Amino acid sequence: MTLKKLSAGLLVLLCLTLGAATTARAQTPTAQQQEARLWDLAVEAGRKGQTTQALAQMERLVSLRPDAARYHYELGILLAQLGQDDRARYHLELVRGGDLPPEIRAEVIRRVQAIDQRRPWDGYLRFGLVQESNPARRTAAESLQIGGLSFTINPAARAQSARGLNLGVGATAQNALKARLNLQGAVHADATFYDGDAPDDVQLRGSVTLQYFGNAGRQSGLGLALTPRWLDGEAYAKTLQIFATHSRPLTQSGTLDVMLRRGRIDYAQPGVAPLDQSEVQLTYRHAASPRLAFHGGLSAERRSSAAAWESGRVFGLSAGATYAFEGGVVAGLDLNALSRRHDSPHPLFGKIREDHLVVAGLRLLNRDWSWRGMTPVLSLAWEKQTSTLAYYSYDNLRMGLTLTKRF
C-alpha cells in the first residue's frame, strides 16, 4: 500500500465519520423527544440494576448532547461503577466545564480523586497501522558541504517512506500504604515494526512512584523510571530518571500539572558519551465546556555531556484542544514546537547545531463506533525540523489507524 492509497483510504473513513454526525442531525426531527426517551430508558435500566443497559443509553445521550454536563456526569459515574476508570475520569473532568454550583463542582473533584486513589490496577493493549513518509527522520538533501567540499549522501541514508505495525501494552498497579499514600508500579512496552525502509523501534519503560493525595484534588508524586530502547533488534540506549510531580485545580475548570525530572541516557554504541538531562514541565488543562477542552504547556531542559557539542538547552511549547460534535464525533488537535541549541560547534561540520521542530496532529473518532469494545482512532501528523546543519533537517507525514483495549 502506497502513501497515496492510505491517504485516500483515511479520507474515505474521515468522510464517513463526519457524515455520521451530519446524518444524526438530519434524521432527528424530534431531538428533544429522542433525548427524553433515552433518559427514561437509562433511568429505568438503572432502577433495575441493569448497569450495562443504562451505560448504552447514557453513551447515546452524550453523543446526542455533548454540551450537557449532567449526561457526562451520569456517564462518568456509570463507567466508574464498571471499572472503566480512564473513561470515567475523562467525562468527569469535562463536567467541570459546565455551569455548576460550588457543591457539585467539589463533588466532581472528589470523585475524580477517588478514582485515581482506589483502582488497584489497570492495563491496555493497543495495535495500529501506520504509514510515514520519513519514519527514520532523515534529511532529504542529496549532498552536504563540509569544509568547503561537497559530499553526496547515499540514497539509502536519505528520507524514505515506510509502512509499519505499532503495538503497545501496559499495566499499572498500586497499593495503599496509608489513607492518602499509595505506591504505584507500572510497566509499558511500545514497538513499531516497519517494512524494511526504516529501523524497527522498541521501547520498554518500568517505573515506581510514591503518590500522595491531598485535599481538594491535589496530588503529588515522587518516582523512578528506567527506559531501555532497541533499534532494529540492537540495543540503542538506556535512560534512568528520577521525577517529581504535582497536580492541583487552579481554577474552577482548570488544572495545573508540574513535573521536575532529572535523568541520564547511556548509549550502547562504544565511544558515545552519556547525556545528563534536567527538565521542568508546566501543563494547564482547561474544560471550557462539557464538549470543549483545551491544554497548553511549557518545558525547559538542560542537557550536559562530556562531548561539548552534544550539550545544550531545549525549550518547548504545546497547545491543543478536543471538541465533541453531535452524533458522536470527537476531534482533537495538537500543536508542538521545540527549539534546541547546542553549546559548541559540531566537530564534523564546524558549526553550532540549532534545531527548530514543529509538529501538528489531528485525531478523529466516533464514540458510537466500536469493535469488541475498541473505538478506531484516525490520526494525521505533520512534522518538520529545520536545522543550521542541513543533515539534521527533515519532514515527516504520519497517518494511522489505531485500536486500544483497556482493562
CATH of the domain at 74: 1.25.40.10
Please indicate, yes or no, whether residues 48 and 77 belong to a single structural domain of this protein. yes
Rg (CA), the chain: 24
pLDDT at residue 321 in the model: 98
The total domain count for the chain is: 2
Structural domain including 193 reads 122-406
- Domain boundary at 118, 146, 170, which? 118
Per-residue pLDDT of the chain in tens (407 residues, 90 and over written 9):
444 444 444 444 444 444 444 444 444 457 788 888 888 888 888 888 888 888 888 888 888 889 888 888 888 888 888 878 878 888 888 888 887 787 777 888 888 888 877 778 888 999 999 999 999 999 888 787 777 777 888 877 788 999 999 999 999 999 989 889 999 999 999 999 999 779 999 999 999 999 999 988 899 999 999 999 999 999 999 999 999 999 999 988 899 999 999 999 999 999 899 999 999 999 999 999 999 999 999 999 999 999 989 999 999 999 999 999 988 899 999 999 999 999 999 988 889 999 999 999 999 999 888 887 788 999 999 999 999 998 999 999 999 999 998 88
- Verify that 234 and 186 share a domain, yes or no: yes
Output the pLDDT for position 29: 53
Is 113 in the same domain as 247?
no
Q: Are residues 17 and 79 in the same domain?
A: yes
Q: Which distant-in-sequence residues (6+ apart) come within 8 Å of 30 by Cβ?
A: none
Is the same domain home to 27 and 133?
no
CB count in 10 Å sphere of residue 118? 12
CATH of the domain at 230: 2.40.160.60
Residue 356's nearest CA partner among 317, 397, 386, 322 is 386
**pLDDT at res. 72:** 87
Is there a single domain that holds both residue 329 and residue 393? Answer: yes
CB atoms within 10 A of CB 406: 16
Please indicate, yes or no, whether residues 93 and 126 belong to a single structural domain of this protein: no
The domain boundary, picked from 118, 150, 178, lies at 118
Let me know whether 284 and 182 are in one domain: yes
Q: Is 154 helix (H, G, I), strand (E, B) or coil?
A: coil
Q: Which DSSP symbol is given to 167?
A: E
| pTM assigned to the model | 0.84
CA 6 to each of CA 24, 34, 129, 198, 379: distance values in angstroms, whole numbers, following the listed order:
27, 38, 10, 18, 12
pLDDT of 313:
98
Residue 287 sits in the same domain as residue 180: yes
- Measure the CA–CA gap between 105 and 113, rounded to whole angstroms: 13
Q: Do 29 and 138 share a domain, yes or no?
A: no
Same domain, 378 and 246: yes
Q: Are 241 and 352 in the same domain?
A: yes
Name the domain boundary from 91, 118, 145: 118
**What pLDDT score was predicted for residue 23?**
44
pLDDT at 17: 46
pLDDT of residue 1: 44
